[in-house]
Chain A
């Protein structure tokens, strides 16, 4: 994606008359020193894609070990490292940076701003990701290998880990700092740099969902930082925050971690809601059914996300009242989430739909995310959760919301905006193949995991009892199909950038946000140097 150029250069020449000093420098310094939101967005997306493939490779290895009962390839400790780092890489390396990359590209264009509010901080928040990723992945080479405690880092197990835990803690600190800076940037851009006439309630939903997500990030990333700092001092400086022998309590870690962890789940899904809310109206050629109620639903989900963390902890032994409070709060989230689903379907209703790749991914998102929502509802019912907690049912649930939820939305976004970014049209046939193979592979991989969980197979095990063998085999086959089909995405994107057909200013008939209506394709390096006026 690094070559936005050929078609793009034409335009920057046109621009160079009066802005010679503003054109992108060439070579590596362009990327190292850039303060341009589009360059930084591109770097975020490339980084996220690399992490997606690294984390995905780990998933493929995990499924290889789980193809059959018995230990075939890895010792259990290394297997645990794989599951742990797969989780961390996918959450902090793939999904979150992808959304930040999309925000960088889109937020300034959609609100009619020239760039992000703090361009230098923007550069810094991206480049922080690189050392963090090196630390996280490099920990595989540390004595003892990468951490094997699960991505949730529960003590005392995490206290037992070697130096790789300290590397991971430092990596998470950097990723957190990066997220906080990114969020400050996004909030400031949205609140202060909107074009005249672009009132809050006229903003595209992607911008709205990111505004709310950014507040969530600012609220909970410091909580995570505090949590892992306490872990660090417990490990090395003799504190006993999470050690009962010194007056602490491991349960406290769980409370603090999930106070971060649950809003984090919404951090990874709210921007996806925003993307879907723009893709569906574009391909239904019909305005979003309930714009205002979508905004309110997003805000309610964000607020509720702060009072549901205990549903990750129904088995720690909270009193009945505690479990019941978290159960009620959690099932309540399905109300605003339902509002969103109903809104999207009402938007499609009596539209004039076409089914290009972004729309296919959006519909895939709608069906599968809803399945993940339903399994979430099942898990929210505390007595049922006690039967299913820490089984493969949970694994199925969160992959339905994070892969067919967040990731499918990111893919919809990439296909949707790629023509705008690089000025070239992707290959529709290849896109459709990518969608259908992903859809089939994903469901073959993850649907049987519901059955495994119901039958009682715990998660995070390298080896399992014989009654779980058949579904695991199918799950592995599906996972490999899903993994392999992602190569089509990269192929398609690279081929598009290199020699796709030129795209028109507005390739999607129903798209209506500023980047389609006010900006040429491909978008110039600098846009909206004078703000458009929105009527």
Chain B
């Protein structure tokens, strides 16, 4: 019986590391690198780490031996020696030589990292509080990438909340798709505060600094999905602006580009004139599908259509600060429910959204389309306790941009 118990215990103990490994992720290493550069960094890290470990064990081995042997309780009598020029020179020179050994390969990697020449394509990345915009310079694709994790998984104030997705906080609506085996040059900037575009496996961690464009590059050599996050504190939702890089074989990338282009709104120029007519008060005409594709140029949208679409835009862009209830988190993030701006003149409300409020956390949302801004402004003016009855048309937004 005793034996049985012991055996059970042994099995339990033996399975403990396995079960820990199965049910928990005790990662202790940098994630598998997927670019030549991140591979270099990875190897550098391990090389240096082993040197450090070796030094640690030699130096502290000596110390602990001394702690063991040279203690008063074992009758040790203190020697009185001090100063020895030879040994002092040795322990200055040896670390210096070790450092040169570390600096040499690091220098090569650093120089390589800073050389974006010969790139096959360029993507301009603009950071916003709190989302990323990708603008493919050659292929003409441009989109905004938002966190896709629903808020009911995040907010657990009243209990465990909804079960969390596998890629909780590391999932986006529109990933950055790139071709494998191509040198991709990144032009990184920001619209508001400093952000950090950081994807560990790709080996890029570069601040986006408002008013300046900083360069980085990568060349991914195996298809896959690589996840990262904003690395520089950028305000309230800093934890909620992930980056997903989806590396695909070149043919699939080309197909993706075609697909994206089909989705992009047509160039606005010819539509400008009729739109202004509509804005001037033409009666509602064609019924565009609510919350759907961009409205037909010139169409006047109904309040219901705008509000339905506006709710989606609001939840994706505004609710983090102003809250789904419109109550905000005053005073940093004021309530929209009952707000003077929202219930005041239309023009001032639209201008606030388009231009932001300098010196506050309210950023410019000029990167959203006219349709989206019109919809969200309409939504805000007709939700919660706000009942202005205004239906803002995209053309009014277009006019406010000028």
Contacts and interface: CB of A to CB of B under 8 A. Distances in A.
Interface of A: 68-73, 75-77, 80, 143-145, 148-150, 154-157, 159-160, 162, 235, 243-245, 249-251, 284-293, 315-317, 319-320, 323-324, 327-328, 331-332, 334-335, 338-339, 341-342, 345-355, 363, 366-367, 370-371, 374, 377-378, 381-384, 386-387, 389-391, 451, 454-456, 458-467, 469-471, 510
B1 interface: no
B27 interface: yes
Contact of A463 (B60, B73, B169): B169
A349 B203 contact: no
Interface in B12-49: 24-31, 37-38, 40-42, 44-45, 48-49
Interface in B56-70: 56, 59-60, 62-63, 66-67, 70
- Determine chain B's interface SS by DSSP, over half rule: mixed
B26 A352 contact: no
A388 B97 CA distance: 25
B225 to A, nearest CB: 13
B113 to A, nearest CB: 6
Nearest to B28: A451
B231 A73 contact: no
A287 B80 contact: yes
5 A-B pairs closest in CB distance: A244-B211, A317-B214, A461-B239, A320-B114, A70-B156
B110 A382 contact: yes
Contacts of A71: 154-157
Interface stretch (B131-139, B191-199, B296-304, B347-355): B191-199
B278 to A, nearest CB: 34
A286 B110 contact: no
B56 A349 contact: no
20 contacts: A69-B169, A70-B164, A73-B157, A149-B233, A160-B193, A285-B78, A286-B82, A288-B82, A290-B82, A320-B115, A346-B87, A349-B62, A353-B76, A374-B56, A381-B44, A384-B48, A390-B205, A455-B200, A459-B233, A471-B26
Contacts of A382: 106, 110
B209 A384 contact: no
Contacts of A455: 27-31, 200
Contacts of A145: 332
Contact of B207 (A143, A315, A371): A315
A162 B361 CA distance: 10
Contacts of A378: 45, 48-49, 52
A250 B210 contact: yes
B53 to A, nearest CB: 8
Given A391-B231, A451-B27, 13 more contacts: A76-B237, A76-B240, A157-B235, A159-B359, A286-B79, A315-B231, A348-B66, A353-B67, A355-B67, A383-B109, A387-B42, A389-B205, A462-B239
B271 to A, nearest CB: 31
A223 to B, nearest CB: 20
A154 B194 contact: yes
Contact of A352 (B44, B70, B240): B70
Contacts of B49: 378
A390 B198 contact: yes
B207 A339 contact: no
B237 to A, nearest CB: 6
A140 to B, nearest CB: 13
Given A77-B329, A285-B72, A381-B44, A315 B95 contact: no
A462 B238 CA distance: 9
Contacts of A510: 78
A327 B110 CA distance: 10
A460 B233 contact: yes
Interface string B160-195: 110010111110000000000000000010001110
B28 A287 contact: no
Contacts of A316: 207, 209, 214
B230 A458 contact: yes
B290 interface: no
Contacts of B25: 466-467, 469-470
B100 to A, nearest CB: 9
A88 B114 CA distance: 34
B71 interface: yes
Contact of B331 (A143, A155, A331, A463): A143
Contacts of B29: 451, 454-455
Nearest to B52: A374
A316 B214 CA distance: 8
A456 B27 CA distance: 10
B206 interface: yes
Contact of A251 (B63, B209, B359): B209
A163 B188 CA distance: 31
